[in-house]
């Protein structure tokens, strides 16, 4: 998870105007499921930057994917918060 945290910090710092028209100010990443082959599902949450609890007036980019493996199922969700 340290690797993902460092990548998200770099995206917020330096690459904010290359991929998006608006400035990125926060990233939230959730990984849920049978991580590392455990018997029970667990979740890992990474929040980098300013992540609002109520996002009524914010621009949000959202992506979701589910993976099916031999050891179980897990899903990933990614929110990118940008300024207007």
Q: Which domains, and CATH codes, for the chain?
A: 2-82 (3.30.1140.32)
Q: Name the percent of the chain lying above pLDDT 90.
A: 12
- Tell me the CB-side half-sphere exposure of residue 61, using CA atoms within 13 A: 14
pLDDT at residue 16 above 60?
Answer: no
Helix H or strand E segment including 8: helix 2-13
35: Cα separation from own chain's centroid:
16
pLDDT digits (tens, 9 = 90+) for 24-49: 788 889 999 887 777 888 888 888 88
pLDDT of residue 76: 92
Per-residue pLDDT band for 55 (boundaries 50, 70, 90) equals: low
């Amino acid at each position: 998870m340290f690797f993902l945290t460092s990548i998200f910090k770099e995206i917020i710092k330096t690459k904010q105007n290359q991929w998006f028209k608006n400035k990125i100010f926060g990233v939230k990443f959730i990984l849920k499921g049978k991580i590392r082959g455990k018997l029970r599902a667990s979740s890992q949450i990474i929040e980098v930057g300013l992540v609002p609890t109520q996002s009524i007036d914010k621009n949000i980019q959202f992506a979701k994917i589910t993976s099916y493996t031999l050891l179980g199922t897990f899903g990933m969700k990614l929110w990118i918060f940008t300024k207007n």
